[in-house]
Amino acid sequence: MAVTLVNPEGLPKPDVYRQLSIAQGSRLVFLAGQVARDAEGNKVGEGDFAAQVEQAYLNVATALAEIGGSFDDVAKLTIYVVDWNEEKYPLLGEGVARAAAKLGVDPVKPITLLGVVALGEPDLMVEVEATAVLD
């Protein structure tokens, strides 16, 4: 694995993400934002925030698998959430946990979470963008 996750001394140690990642690999991968669509482009989890988070994470893993990587190679995530509010926080965790269980990975990565007004299509509630490092 080319990515080591760290919570350095002197910074808060959150349970749901790590403060930084140390990447040592030869291929830097930038994934386009992944949304709640299946392989055929069909909507997944319309109106269900947790289901959309789960599908977006699964799509990140699918993209990385295509090039010989896995979710473990993710160095950083940026998560865009439409109309972010406190009530969505447990649903975000639920969707991430379901994806992690299916993938058999630790989903805790350095993240930036941004509340946005809208995404590319009106039914989308979340988009997950990833940067990965592969050996």
The predicted pLDDT at position 87 comes to 96
Per residue in 102-116, pLDDT (tens digit) is: 999 999 999 999 999
| Nearest C-alpha neighbor of 22 from the set 2, 38, 37, 46 | 2
Looking at the chain, the whole-number percentage of residues with pLDDT higher than 90 is: 82
Task: Give pLDDT < 50 ranges for the chain.
Answer: none
Q: DSSP for 11-63, please give it.
A: S---SS--SEEEE--SEEEEEEEE-SB-TT--B-STT-HHHHHHHHHHHHHHH
The predicted pLDDT at position 1 comes to 60
Per residue in 19-35, pLDDT (tens digit) is: 988 888 889 999 999 99
Cβ atoms of residues 21 and 7 within 8 Å: no
